[in-house]
Amino acid sequence: MTAPAPTEAAFATTTGFDRRELRDVAAMIARLLAAPEAFDPPPSWLFEHQISPFRRTVAALRAHGGAILTLPVGTGKTYVALAVGQAVGGGPIAVVAPAILADQWNRVARSLGLAISFRSHEAMSRGHAAPAGALVVIDESHRFRTPTTRRYRTLAPQLTGRRTLLLTATPVVNRLADLGAQLRLATRDDTLRLEGVPSLTEALAAGPAPAALNRLVISGQRPATGIPLRRPTRIIDWGRDDPDLEMVVRAVDRLRLAREPAIAALIRTSFYRALASSPAALIAGLRRYRRLLAHAADARRGGHRLNRAAIRAVIGADPDQLVWWELLEARSAPVDLAIGDLEALVRLERRLAARQAADGKAGHLLALLADPIPTIVFATAVETVRALRDRLAGTAVGWLTGQRAGIGPLRASRAAVLRGFGPSDLPRGGRPIRLLLATDVAAEGLDLQRAGRIVHYDLPWTSIRLEQRDGRAIRAGSDHAAVEVVRFAVPALLEARLALEAAIDRKRRLPVCLGLAADTAQQVGVGDRLLVRWPEPAGTGWSAGTGAAAVAGFSLADGTGRTGALILGRIGSADWSTDPGVVERALELATDPLGEDRWLHPSAPPAARTAGEPARTLTPPPAVLRSLDEPVSRALADLNGHAVFSDPVPGRVLAVVRAAVSDCRRDRQVAALQDWSETLRFLGRGHTAGEAALIDLVAAGQAAGPEATGPVEGADLVTATLVALIC
């Protein structure tokens, strides 16, 4: 039986203070955790749900130089980004996005009367320069989650000293380090120093993500209206109706493939993956691999062996799967392939070719498409798209892959194909398209609002791909009140070998590590949740809890005028912690009105207190304050003495700078001494990925001098002041 909530009089008698005072301190701590907002008026074309993310992003760019905007798919990140560019810019907005999104970015910018300069991700991969502009917007920024790629290494140095906004609905793909790599493009590694985070890289590597990350990761919610509902209607298990599936799987099982088990497993997985897509995809994979084996046989006769890079190029590893290859070091090391597999591969290929016309999975799709609902079918393999196009010959079917596009058997431009599902009317003479077959090249960023159904013919390796695919149709401006989502399940025989659906479910929970909800439609961090619960002093609606708990809020300062916050929580006799989950739960428990023995310590009365009203301060026991000494001292020591740069600054660079400082002192060159002192100070702080790259160039003797990185605002030692304490 639930105990009744205590009356105001009973509560005051038991605890020595009233609920309002307790809420004052809880609201103060919640406000310390909440992300700051700028006061810039939003442009008239933003919707209500976009205004808070707009203001938070502007505040983040001004305070930290960079941020990542991670609104749910289909809620208008493009419009928010352009509004931010208008607020913080001056001149055109530089946009770096996938090439397929160029028309869309230009169309939206023109409609708002804004100027942008565009450069594609693909151009970055070819080593081209980033576009000019006061603000750089990197759309689909999760494609820049791997620092070793050429696109990352090309772009990073060009962002030094430039405000940078990253856009993605899916900031984490495989691990928290994905987010860290993106943020290092836009912000320094120690940018959250005054929020108690000396190194973003280390904090994300250790996990869980700190609550202060909401200063840089701007999240939001899907609006209640204006976006169609997602209506999952069926999961089609096509494997039950395919009598030959087990035969093909067992044949792949028997292949030896390679002497090294890890390499054999990767090749075998690529075959299972292709089979899950279509017989055509597996046939193409087998043919590529047969050619590789023939090449390996020739190489062996010549005294050579293949390396990992050659194998990866042939089996065409999914980009979301490349983390597996990263685990296999020494790519140039030779690999022994099983040349004896050739005969078995030929037999398997012939069997597949004979049964391709009786593909049961394609039969299920044809039955599904009997109605007139405009549909987008996503497949992972190019060969699957081609096979389905040929199977549907005679109908106006649009198709789109990474290299080509067309309508039926004829080639066409991407723009002409996409216009069939886009927000604008068809041009004169344009052919209506009821069905679009596409690889994941069409899964990012595009507005395809005419679609009333999304079909996941193949499942990708990550949950974010599913979200991105659905988001092409489940977005503002849709022609439909609800969008049907159909998923083809992985047959049990293949799922046992691929664990594909298990991987999707596991990665769907990754946003929780950031303090976000697993449901990307409700991306709200810990600070926001607390602010909703304790928005202002006064009011009721308490929830009961049990157990002793305490929360302490400290204001941090370093003498530059900037301030931050350090929040510590403790439950029972455990140590004080900055873990967002511990802080959130401790605040719930500490504000439970059914408990006893509480103390308030509001060092600064909340703004909501009326003028002249005395602030109640109930002194906590000395033991409670003493318990805070060690964690706070440890946090300050970490902030003031931590080696925040994840890779040590090369000794050669430090030696050059120190020698220059010494010479300037000896010769009394005051101005030069100030410049070199700032450079030395800069080297001891955290850096963006671009700054780190420039330092490496200096160390290698390929740059004029470390002063090329530019000075940064210096900072005194960080100090902490107790602001609020609830025990």
Residues with Cβ within 8 Å of 324's Cβ and at least 6 positions away in sequence, in order, are: 266, 317
- Residue 202 neighbours by CB distance under 10 Å: 16
Which has the higher per-residue pLDDT, 509 or 368? Answer: 368
The separation between the first and the last C-alpha atoms of the chain, rounded to the nearest angstrom, is 27
Q: Identify which of 377-391, 501-515, 606-620 has the greatest average pLDDT.
A: 377-391
Rounded-to-integer distance, Cα 88 and Cα 365, Å: 49
Going along 116-182, which residue ranges are E strands?
116-120, 135-139, 163-167
Rg (CA), the chain: 29
- Residue 309 neighbours by CB distance under 10 Å: 12
Residues with Cβ within 8 Å of 122's Cβ and at least 6 positions away in sequence, in order, are: 98, 99
Rounded-to-integer distance, Cα 350 and Cα 103, Å: 44
C-beta separation of 497 from 466 below 8 A: no
Q: Identify which of 337-346, 506-515, 610-619 has the greatest average pLDDT.
A: 337-346
Residue type at 667? D
Residues with Cβ within 8 Å of 443's Cβ and at least 6 positions away in sequence, in order, are: 378, 465, 468, 469, 472
pLDDT category at 646 given cuts 50, 70, 90 is very low
Q: Taking Cα atoms as reference points, which of 88, 83, 87, 123 lies closest to residue 102?
A: 123
Whole-structure pTM value: 0.69
Of the ranges 54-63, 242-251, 437-446, which one carries the lowest mean pLDDT score? 437-446
C-beta separation of 646 from 183 below 8 A: no
Listing from the earlier edge strand, what are the strands of the sheet with 719-726? 563-571, 549-557, 719-726
Of the ranges 39-53, 282-296, 606-620, 642-656, which one carries the lowest mean pLDDT score? 606-620
pLDDT category at 422 given cuts 50, 70, 90 is low
Average pLDDT over residues 272-295: 86
The three-class DSSP label of residue 698 is helix
When the pLDDT of each residue in the chain is averaged and rounded to a whole number, the result is 75
Average pLDDT over residues 250-275: 85
The three-class DSSP label of residue 401 is coil
pLDDT surpassing 50 at residue 504: yes
Which residue ranges form the domains of the chain, and what is each CATH number? 1-33+544-727 (no CATH), 48-218 (3.40.50.10810), 229-237+360-503 (3.40.50.300), 238-356 (no CATH)
In this predicted model, what pLDDT tens digit does every residue of 297-341 receive, in sequence order? 766 666 666 555 666 555 554 444 433 333 344 444 455 777 788
Report how far Cα 494 is from the mean position of its chain's Cα atoms. 29
Rounded-to-integer distance, Cα 299 and Cα 335, Å: 11
Task: State the DSSP H helix or E strand holding residue 368, giving kind and residue range, or none if neither.
Answer: helix 360-368
Of the ranges 360-369, 446-455, 638-647, which one carries the lowest mean pLDDT score? 638-647
In this predicted model, what pLDDT tens digit does every residue of 573-608 receive, in sequence order? 788 888 877 888 888 777 765 444 444 555 444 443
pLDDT category at 468 given cuts 50, 70, 90 is confident
Rounded-to-integer distance, Cα 613 and Cα 604, Å: 13
Average pLDDT over residues 240-259: 84
C-beta separation of 551 from 586 below 8 A: yes
Residue type at 652? R
